[in-house]
Amino acid sequence: MTSQKKSCDWNTTSELYLEYHDKEWGVPVFDDKKHFEFLVLESAQAGLSWLTILKKRENYRKAYDGFDPKKVARYSEKKKAALLANPGIIRNRLKIEASINNAKHFLEIQKEYGSFSRYIWSFPKGKQINGDWKTLSEIPATTPLSDAISADLRKRGFRFLGSTIIYAHLQATGIVNDHITSCFRHKEVKRSFSLNSKVLGILAILLVFILNFSCMGKKDNNLPAGNENGLPTQDQAGPLQELPDLADTIARFSRELARKDIHPDSEAYVEDFLRWFFGEAGIPDRIAYKAATSVLESPAFFMEFFEILNQDPYTYFLVDKKHPLPDNYEPDDLVPLKAGKFLLARDGLLLRKIALDALEEMADAAAEDGITFTIGSTYRSAEYQAQVYAREVEAYGRETADRQSARPGTSQHQLGLVIDFSPIDDAFVNTPASGWLTQNAGRFGFSLSFPDGYEEVTGYRYESWHYRYVGKDLAIFINNYFEGIQQYALQFINAWQEQG
């Protein structure tokens, strides 16, 4: 299927190059090892095409010990000779020597600043620079920013990192977003930075939350006083600023947020976040309390959450009656399903590749337990979904149709990530396949979208056959923190995004 997405015109048919553009180029990088990887590769590129380097990237990863700067900084003459003899990388003595030299100075910056990421992001003051380019020809090769960083690195002893190479590094690592404005990735990369820039702020916010959660009233058993779930009721808690010591705590951490230039009105931001956490995301008290207590025990909740935000954004995109897909959305990596690992109820079924790969892995595991899936429905275009909805209305009336079929633009099926297992009716819940999926689907990244007893939450009646691919990390996250209810987790993510 031909992609409907407008992209930067890189004038290439290389799948490797296109995948790099669509998934990696311009995504904000805060991980030091990833920064070092790009510095090694970019300095090796000098005088060559980036595609040449991409083709050798995995060879470099193996040759350079996973781009670990500590190991590279200790490379001996013997290791240097091995690199010079390695046909899988660019065998240029000056570039190889520069990479070892640069690793040593990279470690010095880490020691001085705490991380290389903090050092390099300090030049634009922690903010992403978003280009306003209409065509690729408008994008500069260097800027005053790249000049300044290159000059500073040169003073520190780095080599083969001139202004042109540094500007390429800024583009690759999302410090500069140079996707042209008509490219579908321009807004996605911009949003990705908005989410990642909250990491430091949320750590401070969590401290506020933890400290004040513990002072919202105590019982003799040391559990928070309040409703039957242990949470303070609105009447008990009162206005946030009236809670014991809360105003002082908020003010103290707000000053830290303001000092780090995270939010212009930090105090209001903290207070709004606390209010939102329990309210605007539509999360029930019992689940909010469970998440809160898990945060008290460890930071795993938000560490896992931030990892999820780095995956394909449509795996966690909230699609329901109140949250439609973007106009004319159509996935560009749909692939046809072929019978073999599973049965097909009809021809012409399509899924996005990530979902199909996961389905095939899951089908193999099910087969070992004597289960064979039959696939009834997968991707639906907006036009096809309109036909499905119209048939439901004609057969059952609009009120019933709205309980069991989505209007076009609001169907998860349009994501290309949904599978309806056959039979697509209430009889499916009694099949061996249904029982197996209930126990195992999450291990492969699938989540039941419309569980029994949650129609008021999801907007749709129980559909035991309807599973959405959300990725393994998010599936675990849903089960660990949201009682297995996909809708709550997606509402949480959506509210987080809207907060930014």
The residues carrying an active-site annotation are 20, 42, 50
What is the rounded end-to-end Cα distance, in angstroms, of the chain?
34
C-alpha span between 124 and 153 (Å, rounded):
15
| Neighbour-count burial of 419, counting CB atoms closer than 10 A to its CB (0-12 exposed, 13-18 middle, 19+ buried) | buried
Count of C-beta atoms within a 10 Å radius of residue 350: 17
Q: Helices 432-440 & 353-368, crossing angle to 10 degrees?
A: 110
Instruction: Say how far residue 350 (Cα) sits from the centre of its chain.
Output: 24
CB 19 within 8 A of CB 353: no
**What distance in Å separates the CA atoms of residue 49 and residue 449, rounded to the nearest whole number?**
45
Cβ of 274: how many Cβ atoms within 10 Å?
19
Cα dihedral 483/485/489/491 (nearest 10): -130
Closest CA to 423 of 414, 435, 431: 431
Q: What whole-number distance in Å separates Cα of residue 282 and Cα of residue 155?
A: 53
Q: Note whether 295 and 450 are within 8 A (CB).
A: no
